[in-house]
Amino acid sequence: MLLLIIFVLTSIAYVVGRSRAATLRKNGEQLHSLPRYYGYLTAIYTAVPALLLLAIWSASEPTFLKQSTVKTLPAEVQSLPQGQLDLVLNDIKNIATGGITQTADDPLREASAKHYNDRKNTSQLLKSIVVLVASILGALYGLRKIGIHTRARVFVERAMMTVLIACSCIAIFTTVGIVLSVLFESLRFFNKVPFTEFAFGLHWSPQTSIRADQVGSSGSFGAVPIFAGTLLISAIAMLVAVPFGLMSAIYLAEYASSNVRAWAKPLLEILAGIPTVVYGFFAALTVAPLVRDIFEGVGFEDVASESALAAGLVMGIMIIPFVSSLSDDVITAVPQAMRDGSLGLGATKSETIKRVVIPAALPGIVGAILLAVSRAIGETMIVVMAAGLAANLTINPLEAVTTVTVQIVTLLTGDQAFDSPKTLVAFALGLMLFITTLILNVIALVVVRKYREQYE
């Protein structure tokens, strides 16, 4: 509501500011900018301080309300610890807003709730007044500023630039946030478990004591089997995705008629758009039993129902469109002159593709594959649903392995006690995951960029 009023006021300020400037201009004043900019200027003065006030008020209002309400409560309640006080307040607020409560008949609480409501109403009223006054004052100030000396356009544009720059900083903030959120916890983990054990230990068994007297209650945090498992599944995925993706891209870019291309490309992209949880469901319920039946039919024994193969296959299929669309881009970026040169020498189309187009596009394709690898490593839902939890150190794709992402999910939602190293190791794994993908991504991006420059 208040926001709406501010919006209306801002619009009015804009119109008034503009017309005022227009009048001045008509009267022969040499204004620096177009009237419209004076309108914007006034609008900014109207809205920004008011909104700022509103935000600050709204943010601090609960605290004031709380303190004021707490004062109405009996002393023994007031001296309760913070958490309990919050609960009481929650109850009071529930009463006040007419929500479902259990203590509605408690007169003391009722009184507090009334007090709370009164204060809240007063506060809202005051807030409205203050904000409106601020916005009107702002508007007046803005209107006064209209004149020859004000370079409205510069001001407005500078304000806009500030907003734009602020927005583009969010990406940096996100990265910083990620690093901070995983780094501290990881450091705490490495204080308890030496990094060398984490990085080179061959035994992963993070079940530190479900009960205190449990064996191996110290847990062992050798991350090698997890990373090996991740690599195994990713490798299987890439074995599926690279040939299929690349060949699809080649076919679409070089052979397919434009009609086929127009249909096949969006269809392939659907494959990329299917949520990973759907793939996970499909992998667990359809592909994994199929893989097991097939291999046991052929005479393999001990095919895990959650074989790395099943998860890897499905993940590979998920990544096909990723590889194909990136490769398609780089293949079509190879200049036609290259193809002409080769065809003109009497090469067949496939020879041209194999010997000229692909080598020329290779850096770009490698970049695409690296990005795909990083995606495979970070993929979560498919492996959570279809891969195992057993940290086997194996290269047999028919066995169950576990991955970094699976471990993060199970460690943070698992059944074991949630103390010390175990939660922390999830963050350490997250950090490793972030660093690994970061390195892959940066290499891939540099490679791709270099490649693009080559033909631009």
Partner 1 sequence: MNAQEKLNTTEVVRGSLKRRYAREKRFRLFGLAAITASLTFLAVLLITITVRGLPAFKQTFIQLEVTLDSKTLGVGENPDINELRKANYNGAIKKSLTALFPDVKKRKDKKALYKLVSKGGQYDLQKRVMADPSLIGETLKVWLPVGDDTNSYIQGNIDSSLPEKKRRFKDNQIQWVDQLTEDKQIQRRFNSTFFERGDSREPEMAGIKGSLFGSMLTLMVTLLLSFPVAVATAIYLEEFAPKNRWTDIIEVNINNLAAVPSIVFGLLGLAIFINFFSLPRSAPIVGGLVLSLMTLPTIIISARAALKSVPPSIRDAALGVGASKLQVVFHHVLPLAMPGILTGTIIGMAQALGETAPLLMIGMVAFIVDVPTSLTDPATVLPVQIYQWADLPEKGFVEKTSAAIMVLLAFLIVMNAVAVYLRRKFERKW
Partner 2 sequence: MNEEVNPLPSLEQDQTSEQTIEEIVASLGDTVGQPRVEDPKMSVSNVDVFYGDKQAIFGVDLDIANNEVVSMIGPSGCGKSTLLRCLNRMNDTIPICRVSGELTLDGEDIYSKDTDPVLLRARVGMVFQKPNPFPKSIYENVAYGPRLHGLNRNKADLDDIVVNSLKKAGIYNEVKNRLDESGTSLSGGQQQRLCIARTIACSPEVILMDEPCSALDPIATAKIEELIDELRENYAIAIVTHSMQQAARVSQRTAYFHLGKLVEVGDTDTIFTNPRHELTENYITGRFG
Partner 3 sequence: MSKIGLTIAGMLFCTTVAAQSTRDQISIVGSSTVYPFATVVAERFGQTTQYKTPKIESTGSGGGMKLFCNGIGVQHPDITNSSRSIKKGEFESCKANGVTDIIEVLIGFDGITLANSVDSEQLEMSRKDIFLALAKRVPDPNGGDELIDNPYEDWADVNPDLPEIKIEVIGPPPTSGTRDAFVELAMEGGCKAIESIAAIEKTDKDSFKEICHTVREDGAFIEAGENDNLIVQKLEANPDALGIFGFSFLEQNSDLVQPSYIDGFEPTFESISDGTYPVSRPLYFYVKKAHIGVIPGIAEYLLEFTSEGSWGEEGYLADKGMIPLDEETRLSSAESIANFETMTLE
Shortest spacing between CB 346 and partner 2, in angstroms: 3
Contact of 360 with 338, CB cutoff 8 Å: yes
- The answer to whether residue 320 forms part of the interface with partner 1 (CB under 8 A) is yes
Helix%, strand%, coil% for the chain, nearest 5: 80, 0, 20
How far from chain centre, in Å, is Cα 391?
A: 28
Query: Based on CB atoms, which residue is closest to partner 1, 266 or 341?
Result: 266
Q: Which of 27, 30, 102, 257 binds partner 3 (CB under 8 A)?
A: 102
Query: Based on CB atoms, which residue is closest to partner 1, 134 or 372?
Result: 372
Neighbours of 392 (CB within 10 A): 18
Contact of 62 with 17, CB cutoff 8 Å: no
Shortest spacing between CB 226 and partner 3, in angstroms: 12
Q: Which does 68 bind (CB under 5 to 8 A by kind): partner 3, partner 1, partner 2, none?
A: none
- The answer to whether residue 117 forms part of the interface with partner 1 (CB under 8 A) is no
Q: Which does 251 bind (CB under 5 to 8 A by kind): partner 3, partner 1, partner 2, none?
A: partner 1
3-state SS record for 186-248: HHHHHHHCCHHHHHHCCCEECCCCCCCCCCCCCCEECCHHHHHHHHHHHHHHHHHHHHHHHHH
Among 308, 318, 249, 252, CA closest to 282: 318
Return the residues of window 64-83 that contact partner 3 according to CB under 8 A: 81-83
Return the residues of window 284-313 that contact partner 3 according to CB under 8 A: 284, 288-289, 292-293, 296, 302, 304-306
Query: Based on CB atoms, which residue is closest to partner 3, 75 or 173?
Result: 173
User: What token pair was written down for 275?
Assistant: 């949520």
How far from chain centre, in Å, is Cα 105?
A: 46
Q: Which of 264, 333, 347, 390 binds partner 3 (CB under 8 A)?
A: 390
Shortest spacing between CB 194 and partner 1, in angstroms: 23
- The answer to whether residue 9 forms part of the interface with partner 3 (CB under 8 A) is no
Return the residues of window 118-157 that contact partner 3 according to CB under 8 A: none
Q: Which does 338 bind (CB under 5 to 8 A by kind): partner 1, partner 3, partner 2, none?
A: partner 2
Q: What angle, 0 to 180 degrees and rounded to 10, lies between the N-to-C axes of helices 420-455 and 152-192?
A: 130
Shortest spacing between CB 339 and partner 1, in angstroms: 14
Instruction: Find the helix or strand (DSSP H, E) in which 13 lies.
Output: helix 2-26
Distance from C-alpha of 298 to C-alpha of 406, rounded to nearest angstrom: 30
Q: Would you tell me which residues interact with partner 3 (CB under 8 A)?
A: 55-56, 58-59, 62-63, 81-84, 86-88, 90-91, 93-94, 97, 99-103, 162, 165-166, 169-170, 173, 205-207, 209-215, 284, 288-289, 292-293, 296, 302, 304-306, 385, 387-392, 400, 402, 410-419, 422-423
